[in-house]
Amino acid sequence: MNFSTLKGNILAILSIALWGLCFPVTELLLEHWHPILLTAARLLSGSICVLIILLLTRRLHELREVPWGSAWFIGAVGVGAGTILLVWGQDLSNQVTAAILTTTLPIISLVLGVRARDEKFNMWLLTGIFLSIAGGILASPAFTEKNVVFHGGELLVLSATILYAWYSRCCVFTLSHLSGFTTTCVTLGTGGITVLGIGLGSIALGLIPQTFDLSTQSLVLIIILGTGGVGISTALWIIATRTIGVTLAAFYVNLSPFFVMIASIVIGGELMLVQFLAALIVVTAALIAQYPRLGKRSVGT
């Protein structure tokens, strides 16, 4: 495995680690925030965080190169609408079925890639995808559930997963001339503004309650969530997908339950050996899928 490919794999793992470790923070905030308003706050916080990074590294000039029409559409649909569908779908279903459906991200990405004629099926990739999905299910609450019941929100969760795969591919191809951090800043910002507009409109129409918390503790948690779990995490994800491809990076999304468990242990949760096994399966799956490419040049940077 060459350095570029190794870097892409490591960045994908770090991205999912930051995302997963922030789940407990999200749970705390949801006690005082409506999901749509919290989504807008975390997306805008993440965008501002990356904007500050661009400022400190003297790269704000990159914003002049942004194709704002395309970027706004990608951010509004892929990030904004996708997140709302995920939150709505989880509310109408449950965490078990939602966890199962999100493990399908690699196969969805592969189907989109094959349709766009920039990816091909092969036995190594299909074997890796099968193991990755198996590992994701093993790590999710579904593994300990005797009955998995469908409630109607599953189609929304699946739609959100498809939109995220589409968003990731757009960041790789449509916005390829922008750096990973600039792409993150723009798409999170446009997505956050879209969700905020939907939230405020819903409040005005009486569709959702005006539930939010602007206390010091809440704002600190939002900054932490936006910085690590959204801003830096998304930037690392985009860089990783440009290095090893969306489908291979998507394998590591199934590591998220493992990192959620790690975060839970820190705040007093229990150790689950089955999730260590699941994490090992997911990493093995990613290596198997990349076997034909080991030592070859990566997809891009």
SS3 175: coil
Q: How does pLDDT run along the chain (301 residues), one tens digit per residue?
A: 677 888 999 999 999 888 877 777 887 888 899 889 998 999 999 999 999 999 999 999 999 999 999 999 999 999 999 888 887 776 676 555 666 677 778 888 888 888 887 777 778 778 877 887 777 667 665 545 545 555 567 788 889 889 999 999 999 999 999 999 999 999 999 999 999 999 999 999 999 999 999 999 999 999 998 998 899 999 999 999 999 889 888 888 877 777 766 766 666 666 667 767 776 787 787 778 776 665 454 443 3
Query: How far, in Å, CA of 77 to CA of 164, rounded?
Result: 9
**Of 63, 72, 52, 67, whose CA–CA distance to 191 is shortest?**
72
Query: How far, in Å, CA of 232 to CA of 226, rounded?
Result: 8
In one-letter notation, the amino acid at residue 211 is T
What Rg do the C-alpha atoms of the chain give, in angstroms?
19
Query: How far, in Å, CA of 39 to CA of 129, rounded?
Result: 30
> Tell me: the pLDDT tens digits for 237-289?
999 999 988 988 888 887 777 776 676 666 666 666 776 777 678 778 777 87
* pLDDT at residue 298 in the model: 41
* pLDDT at residue 300 in the model: 38
* pLDDT at residue 140 in the model: 60
* pLDDT at residue 96 in the model: 56
SS3 8: helix
* pLDDT at residue 292 in the model: 64
Which pair of tokens denotes residue 229? 């779990």
> By the 8 A CB rule, do 255 and 20 touch?
yes
SS3 290: coil
**Cα 21 to the chain's mean position, in Å?**
13
Give domain limits for the chain.
3-293
**Of 268, 271, 78, 38, whose CA–CA distance to 172 is shortest?**
78
pTM of the model: 0.83
